[in-house]
A and B are shown apart, each in its own frame.
Chain A
Amino acid sequence: MSTPDETQDMWQNAIDELEKRRGWSEELGGADAVQRHHERGRLTIRERIAGLIDKGSFQEIGKLTGKGTYDAEGKVRHVTPAPYVMGIAKINGRPVAVGGEDFTVRGGTSSGSRRRKGGQGGFVEDLAHDYRIPLVNLIDGAGGTVSSIKSRGYTVFPGVSGFERSVDLLGEVPVVAAVMGTAAGGPAGRAILSHFSVMIEETSQVFAAGPPVVKRSLGQDIDKNDLGGTKIAVETSGTIHNAAKDEEDCFRQISSFLSYMPQNVWELPPRGDTSDPVDRQEEDLLSIVPGKRTRAYNMKKLVEMVVDRDSMFEIQPTFGKAVITTLARLNGYPVGIIANNPMVYGGAMDARAARKQIHFMELCDNFHIPVMFFVDVPGFMVGLAAEKEGALREGMRAVYAAGKMTVPTFTLVIRKCYGMAGMATCNKNGVDMKVAWPSAEWGSLPVEGGVAAAFRREIAAADDPAAKEREIEAEIRPYTSPFRTAEAFEVEEIIDPRETRPFFCKFVELAYESMKLSLGPQSKAGVQP
C-alpha cells in the first residue's frame, strides 16, 4: 500500500514530466531554428495553426512524439519533437483536421517512425476520414530523406505509406492544401491531391524536384522561384490553384473556401448570410453587354451584380482566364459559377480553361454545390498553338465532365453559345433549364464564317463575292433572334437581365431541397476521353 505522500509524489513527478515534454514540443526545433525560420519570412507550424483556426480551438494529437535522449539512469534529458504538428480544431465554428510539417526540425523531412502523424497515410488523414471532417494540410517539407535509410537499414518501396487514404479523402471530405515553403516529392504530390490548393508569393515553391536535382539531371541552372514559384506553379501550369500575398492571406483563403463547403459529401453545403435582398435588381445589368456584338465586356462585374454581395471566392483567378470559376452565394446558398470571359480570346475555350472548368465542375458535383453557367462562348480555341496543347481533347473532356454531373445545373446565356464548347455549359441529366438574356445567340457555329463555309460555291460564283456573303448573312440574321428559339421552347425562358438574381434565387432554393434526397459519394464509371 502506498502512503498518501507517495501517491502525491508519483503524480507530481508524472505531471512535471508531462509538462516538461509538452514544453519541448512547444519549442519545436529550438530558438535558433525558429529564428532562422522567421528570418525567411515564414511562421512556425504552431503559429500557422493558431493563425488559421478559431482562437483556442486546437486539440493537438501526438504532441509528445519525437526522439528522446536519456541519461545513464534512464531519465529523459530532452526530446526533439517529430517534424509534424497536427490535431483537430475549428474554423468558422466547424471542426477540421489540421496538420503541417515543422520545418525547424530537420527541414520538415518525414520522421521515419512507423506510425506517421502526417503526410500520406498519416494519422491526420485518418482523423478527417473517420470523423468525416475537412482536412487542411499546411505543407512545408521536402518529403523523405535519404538519411533515414541508414537508421532503418533498408530502402522503402514507393507507396508503402501510399496515397490511398489521400485519394479516398477526395471523394469524402474537403481537402485543402497550402504550400507554405519549398515543397518537393511527397509533400508536393499531396498539395495536388486536394480540392483547393494555395501557395504564397515569394516564400513558396512547388515542383517534382528542386534546383539541385534539375542541375544534376539536365544541367540547367535555375532559381527555385523561377522553377516553382507562383508565376510558374499558379499562373502558368495551374499546378496550384491560388496565390496568396502572405501567410495571413493564405489563412483567409482557406477559411473562405471552407465556408462554401459541406463538412463531407453526406451533408449539404451550409447556408451563409441572407441579408442581401433576393429581389435586388441592378439597373447596370441592362447596359453591361455592349450593343456591338464584337465588343468584349467585364463578365466578373456582371456576375458580381447577380450573386449575394461580396460572396465571390474565385478559384484559379490567374490561370485559364478564358473562363471564370468562382464560388458564390445566392440567397445564402453556395453555388459554383462558371462564366466565360469575353475579354480573353472572346471567351474561346482553350486547354487551360477546359482543365480549370473540369476541376471546378467535379468539385461542385462532389460536394453538392449547384452549378450556374454564365455563357458567352464562341467555341473551342482555334489555331496551331491551341491544337498543339490539345485544346480539342481538353475541350471534349469538359463536355464529358459536364455531362457526368449529377448536381443541379442552370444555364444562363448572356451572349454567344456556340458549338461543342457550348455543350460544356449545360447538362441534360436534370431539368435541363436554359435561360437567356435577349442579347443571346447560339448555334452550331456563328453566322459569320458559317455562311462563308456553307455557301462557298454560291459566293464564289457571284460577281461581287463579298457583297453576296453579306447578302446571305443579312438573310439569315433575323432567324438568330433568341425569341424565335423561345417560341419553339428550345430555350426554356428569356429574362430581362435585371430579373436574373430573383429568378435564379428561386431555383437554387429548390435545388437545395431536391439535393437532400441525393447526398453521398459519387459513383464512378466511364473513361474520360
Chain B
Amino acid sequence: MSRVEVKSEVTGTVWKIEMKVGDSVAEGDEIMILESMKMEIPAMAPEAGKIVEITVEESVPVEEGQVLAVIEA
C-alpha cells in the first residue's frame, strides 16, 4: 500500500468535488473539478486505489502543486 497524492496542476478554485473518502478510483477517474482561467480542469487519480483523504472544500482557492486528495494505491 502506498499513499499517492493528487496534486493541482493549476492555481484556481475548487468548483465541484465529485467523489468522497472511501470511494474506489481507477487511474484517470475525476475526483474533483477545479476552475481556472475560465476553464473546468478535472483533477484525476494518478493511480487506481481508494480515496483516503480529501484536503480541500468546494469554492476554496488552491495553489499549483497543492495536494487535493490522497489515494491509497
Residues of A within 8 A of B (CB): 292, 294-296, 298, 321, 342-346, 348, 378, 448
Contact = CB atoms under 8 A, between A and B. Distances in A.
A106 to B, nearest CB: 40
B39 A346 contact: yes
Contacts of B28: 298
Interface string B24-50: 000010000000111111100000000
B40 A296 contact: yes
A346 B36 contact: yes
Nearest to A235: B65
A296 B32 CA distance: 13
B64 to A, nearest CB: 9
B9 A343 contact: yes
B37 A345 contact: yes
Contact of A378 (B37, B41, B42): B37
B70 to A, nearest CB: 20
A448 B38 contact: yes
B1 to A, nearest CB: 21
B41 A296 contact: yes
A292 B10 CA distance: 20
Given A321-B9, A343-B9, A348 B40 contact: no
A348 B41 contact: no
Contacts of A348: 37
Nearest to B41: A296
Contacts of A343: 9-10, 41-42
Contacts of B38: 294, 346, 448
24 contacts: A292-B40, A294-B38, A294-B40, A295-B39, A296-B40, A296-B41, A296-B42, A298-B28, A342-B39, A342-B41, A343-B10, A343-B41, A344-B9, A344-B10, A345-B36, A345-B39, A346-B36, A346-B37, A346-B38, A346-B39, A346-B41, A348-B37, A378-B39, A448-B38
Contacts of B10: 343-345
Interface string B44-69: 00000000000000000000000000
B66 to A, nearest CB: 14
A294 B9 contact: no
Nearest to A293: B39
A-B interface, 10 closest residue pairs, ranked by CB to CB distance from nearest: A346-B39, A346-B37, A345-B37, A296-B41, A295-B40, A344-B9, A294-B39, A294-B40, A296-B39, A345-B10
Contacts of A292: 40
B23 to A, nearest CB: 21
Nearest to A379: B37
Residue with the highest number of chain A CB atoms closer than 10 Å, among B39, B40, B42: B39
A346 B42 CA distance: 11
A348 B10 CA distance: 11
In this complex, the member of A296, A342, A378 whose beta carbon has the largest number of chain B beta carbons within 10 angstroms is A296
A342 B41 CA distance: 8
Nearest to B38: A294
Contacts of A294: 38-40
A2 B41 CA distance: 86
Contacts of B42: 296, 343
A517 to B, nearest CB: 43
A292 B42 CA distance: 13
B3 to A, nearest CB: 18
Nearest to B35: A294
Given A295-B40, A296-B40, A345-B36, 6 more contacts: A295-B39, A296-B39, A342-B41, A345-B37, A346-B41, A348-B37
B33 to A, nearest CB: 9
